[in-house]
Amino acid sequence: MSISLNTCILILKEHHLLKSSAVQDTVATKMEYVSYDSRDIQTNTLFFCKGAGFRPTYLSMAKDNGAICYVAEQPYPEGKGMHALIVRDVSKAMALLSAAFFRFPQDDLYVVAFTGTKGKTTSAYFLKGMLDQMNGGRTALISSVNDIVGTKPEDSFKSSLTTPESLDLFRDMRRAVDNGMTHLVMEVSSQAYKKNRVFGLTYDLGFFLNITPDHIGPNEHPNFADYLHCKLQLMVNSRKCIINAESDHFDEIYAAATTTTNPDSIYLFASENFENPKLNVPIDFRYASQETDMRETRFKLFCASDKAKQLPINGDYTLQMIGNFNESNGTAAIIGAGLAGMDHDGCAKGIRHVTIPGRMQTEMTKEHGIVVVDYAHNKASMMALMSFMQSEFSNPKIIVVVGAPGDKGVSRRPGFSESLTAYADKAFLTTDDPGFEDPQSIAEEIDSGIDHSKCDVTIELDREKAIHDAIAMAGKDDVVLICGKGADAFQKIRGVDTPYPSDIVVAQRVINELEGQKEHFRN
């Protein structure tokens, strides 16, 4: 793989990004590697100086290690003797040049993107499960749990970001194409748009699942308007748009979709009884709950409009994932599979056994009720989870283990106070990725907003002990919800991913200790 200096200049000029360039006569002009990290350089590398944490010494290091050209928003003396491309926005430049360097892998993939405050990972896994039926397991995945770029074990790896840096994304897409993958399902976070990680990328299908306030605070979005604006970009950049008509801010979402997409290629879905008198476009797909228990979720999908009836996906579906919110996620994913060419039988077979690490993993204990490990970690998902449990078990005692992360998403803390007050009988406030903040202060902040006449609180910063105490106190008919970390096997503490056994492992161990049982969590 390579890219010439001239090509870089042309691309940057075409997008009005180039401010100035300095070309060295004696230096090679063919770049054979790209990087934004001075610790990862090869001969003739094109190096991007980007990010709040960038230091000019990284450029010196990159040059010493073989970088011959740098892209930056200002010239650096440390880059003397290298080609220099000085640009208006280095993150946009990196996305465009990376796509070109990796020979536009998106052109060889059917690319589907999900955005939404909640349900991205779940919907992405559902869709991958179905597409794999059709293409023989050749669906690549970019998600906040795992990235999968091929069929061999070494082609699956844990992701550190939900949506990777543009350079990493295009490299992974190239790897997927070279490994014979035909489809890519990806989660696109609001940060991905804010940081131009997907700049210039167009999706075959783009989904807007829902939006509620989240990710607002230092290092993320300054306010809700910015969060919404970033998420709306997915609609602007999708050839076909699929929108949850029940989402807050529906009008803005639909309007964003119509800026670049004919209404014939915009599809809406909603639950059976949803009505919005102000809506002047028809709902294309409806879903209706069937009988549901703690093992499975069953629902029916109706193709309601003429446009929808062209897709043969009408019918009954069963999910192994519980939680009524998964009917909405499942519906979205099935519409995606239908638009990609699948029929009801293929979809039903593909989605039937999909499970997702750390999402709604449940265990029925003998003496301590039902224990659920789930990734719910903001107000909307906590509300959805606890209201589902309340309705399933006709007002059980709900015991929750939860904490809020440090350094980000500060808006989640009052959201936890509110949702715990609304539904929980007992809360163990504990540690969840405190970063550079004091976990005790985070817990006290959540506690200060809880109405203690409704929800009793214990602050127990040792997460393993909190899980133990929650399960130990639960009676036969109670529900224990261990929230926020899912299958994460680390705690982010002061910039370091500190090993942690994972909530599933801890809960399993506690149940085994208490009941001597050797079963494993479902899913």
Ligand X SMILES: CC(=O)N[C@H]1[C@@H](OP(=O)(O)OP(=O)(O)OC[C@H]2O[C@@H](n3ccc(=O)[nH]c3=O)[C@H](O)[C@@H]2O)O[C@H](CO)[C@@H](O)[C@@H]1O[C@H](C)C(=O)N[C@@H](C)C(=O)N[C@H](CCC(=O)O)C(=O)O
Across the strands, what pairs with 299? 289, 317
Q: Is 162 marked within a binding site?
A: yes
Sign of CA dihedral 371, 375, 376, 377: positive
Q: What are phi and psi of 25, to 5 degrees?
A: -60, -30
* Pairing assessment for the beta strands 361-364 and 370-374 based on DSSP bridges: antiparallel
Q: Compose the 200-219 pattern: x for residues touching ligand X by CB under 6 A, - for all others.
A: ---------------x---x
Selected binder of ligand X within 38, 106, 143, 329 (CB under 6 A): 38
Measuring CA to CA, which residue among 88, 68, 90, 89 is closest to residue 22?
68
The token pair that represents 265 in the structure block: 């290629």
140 forms beta bridges with: 184
For residue 38, say whether it is annotated as part of any ligand binding site: yes
- The DSSP bridge partners found for residue 475 are none
Nearest alpha carbon to residue 6 among 60, 46, 41, 49: 46
Instruction: Tell me the one-letter amino acid at 159.
Output: S
Q: What distance in Å separates the CA atoms of residue 2 and residue 177, rounded to the nearest whole number?
A: 17
Comparison of 386 and 446: residue with beta carbon closer to ligand ATP: 386
The distance of closest approach from Cβ of residue 313 to ligand ATP in the complex, given in angstroms and rounded to an integer, is: 19
Residue 355's binding partner among ligand X, ligand ATP, none (Cβ under 5 to 8 angstroms by kind) is none
Tokens representing 143 are 């998600």
Is 224 a residue that touches ligand X (CB under 6 A)?
A: no
Name the segment binding ligand X (CB under 6 A); options: 45-53, 277-285, 483-491, 500-508. Answer: 45-53
Q: Which residue has the tokens 């079963």?
A: 519
The one-letter amino acid at 426:
K
Backbone angles phi, psi at 75, to 5 degrees: -70, 150
Number of residues interacting with ligand X: please give it, by CB under 6 A: 23
Q: Tell me, what DSSP letter sits at residue 401?
A: E
119 binds, among ligand X, ligand ATP, none (CB under 5 to 8 A by kind): ligand ATP
Cβ of residue 476: shortest distance to ligand X, in angstroms? Answer: 36
Our finding on whether 195 is near ligand X (CB under 6 A) is yes
Q: Which residues contact 459 (CB under 8 A, 6 or more apart)?
A: 428, 429, 430, 440, 443, 444, 447
The reply on whether position 60 binds ligand X by CB under 6 A is no
Q: Which is nearer to ligand ATP, 133 or 247 (CB)?
A: 247
* 421 annotated as a binding-site residue: no
What tokens appear for 87 in the block? 């640009």
375, interface contact from ligand X, ligand ATP, none, CB < 5-8 Å by kind: ligand ATP
Q: Strand pairing of 110-115 and 83-87?
A: unpaired
**Contact flag: residue 89 with ligand X (CB under 6 A):** no
Q: Which is nearer to ligand X, 63 or 426 (CB)?
A: 63
User: Residue 359: which of ligand ATP, ligand X, none does it interact with, CB under 5 to 8 A by kind?
Assistant: ligand ATP
Give Rg (Cα) of the chain: 24
163 among the known binding-site residues?
yes
Asked if 72 touches ligand X (CB under 6 A), the answer is no
Question: How far apart are CB 100 and ligand X at their closest, in Å?
Answer: 19
Mark the segment that binds ligand X (CB under 6 A) among 33-41, 283-291, 375-383, 395-403: 33-41
Q: Which is nearer to ligand ATP, 3 or 356 (CB)?
A: 356
Torsion sign, CA atoms 501, 503, 508, 510: positive
Q: Residue 315 CB, nearest distance to ligand ATP (Å)?
A: 21
Q: Please tell me whether 189 is known to bind a ligand.
A: yes
**Whose CA is closest to 228, among 216, 238, 245?**
216
Annotated binding residues for ATP, written as ranges, equal: 116-122
The site for ligand X (CB under 6 A) is made up of: 36-39, 50-54, 58, 161-163, 165, 189-192, 195, 215, 219-220, 408
The site for ligand ATP (CB under 6 A) is made up of: 116, 118-122, 144, 162, 187, 209-210, 325, 328-329, 359, 374-376, 380-381, 384-385
